[in-house]
Amino acid sequence: MSDNTVSLTPEGKQRLTNELEDLFKERRAVAEQIRLAREQGTSQNDAEYEDAKQEQGRVEGRIRELEDVLSRAVLIDEKEVQKSHRVVLGSQVAVEQDGQDRTYTIVGHPEAAPAEGKISNESPIGAALMGKRVGDRVEVNVPRGIIKITLKKIG
């Protein structure tokens, strides 16, 4: 995997840690499914065995991914975020975007959840807002065209 650090909020790190713990439990359950399917050894259970092996691959892949992210995690200092007068990782920002008010929290890519208003600092909007101050205006080129954003508040 990569040697680069990954910025996470304390909440984001906890969420990923919880997911990893759940995957360790799921790993044991999948191993038991594989053992049972192997013991029965009939062609009817071949499909169950193959499904369990595929699930095992998914679980193991996600475990490796989370372990990698967590091993490289650097926590965002929330006190520094609050003191900053510029948009930094961890900032909650209020913007006017194409005439509509929106609120985003700028997070590292492993925490991004656009439906929850958490956007990655690597996304087009997140990258455009990084380092900006209240009152700054940016134009962001996104797949559906150019959007205009005015930074109204940094929290």
Give 53-72 as a DSSP string.
HHHHHHHHHHHHHHHHHHHT
pTM of the model: 0.75
Give the pLDDT confidence of 86-135 residue by residue, as tens digits. Answer: 999 899 999 999 889 999 999 998 999 999 999 999 999 999 999 999 99
Q: Coil, helix or strand for 150?
A: strand
Domains annotated on the chain, with CATH: 6-75 (1.10.287.180), 78-154 (3.10.50.30)
Q: For 8-49, what is each residue's pLDDT tens digit?
A: 888 899 999 999 999 999 999 999 988 888 887 765 667 888
Query: What are the C-alpha distances in Å from 79 to residues 85, 90, 117?
Result: 12, 10, 21
pLDDT band of residue 83 (cuts 50, 70, 90) is: confident
For the chain, where are the alpha helices, taking DSSP H only?
10-40, 43-71, 78-83, 124-129
